[in-house]
Structure 1
Amino acid sequence: MSLISNAFAETASTSSPMSNLTSFLPLALMFVVLYFVMIRPQMKRQKEHRNMLAAITKGDEVITSGGILGRVVKVGENFVNVEITENVEINVQKSAITALLPKGTIKAL
Structure 2
Amino acid sequence: MLNLEFLTSQFLILAQEEGAKSSLQSLIIIPIMLVAMYFLVILPNKKEEKKRKEMIGNLQKGDTVVTSSGLHGKIVEFKDNNETVVLSVSANTNVTFDTSAILKKKV
Q: TM range, normalised to the smaller chain?
A: 0.7 to 0.9
1:49 deviates by 1.2
Q: Does 1:79 align with 2:80?
A: no
Partner of 1:107: none
Q: How far apart, in 1, do the equivalents of 2:16 and 2:88 lie? A: 74
Aligned partner of 1:96 among 94, 101, 105: 101
Q: Scaled by the length of structure 1, what TM-score is found?
A: 0.74
Query: Contact 1:56/1:75 (CA < 8 Å) preserved in 2?
Result: no
Q: Does 1:58 align with 2:61?
A: yes
Q: How far apart, in 2, do the equivalents of 1:13 and 1:67 lie? A: 60
CA RMSD of the aligned region, Å? 2.6
Structure 2 gaps, min length 5: none
Aligned partner of 2:29 among 26, 47, 51: 26
Structure 1 gaps, min length 5: 103-109
Computing the radius of gyration from Cα coordinates, the structure with the larger value is 2
Structure (1/2) with the larger helix percentage: 2
- For the residue of structure 2 that corresponds to 1:5, the secondary structure is helix
- For the residue of structure 1 that corresponds to 2:27, the secondary structure is helix
Q: How far apart, in 2, do the equivalents of 1:74 and 1:64 lie? A: 15
Equivalent position amino acid for 1:51 in 2: E
Q: How far apart, in 1, do the equivalents of 2:16 and 2:95 lie? A: 71
Q: Identity, % of aligned pairs?
A: 29
Dislocated runs of 4+, deviation >2 Å: 4-14, 18-23
Q: How far apart, in 2, do the equivalents of 1:75 and 1:55 lie? A: 12
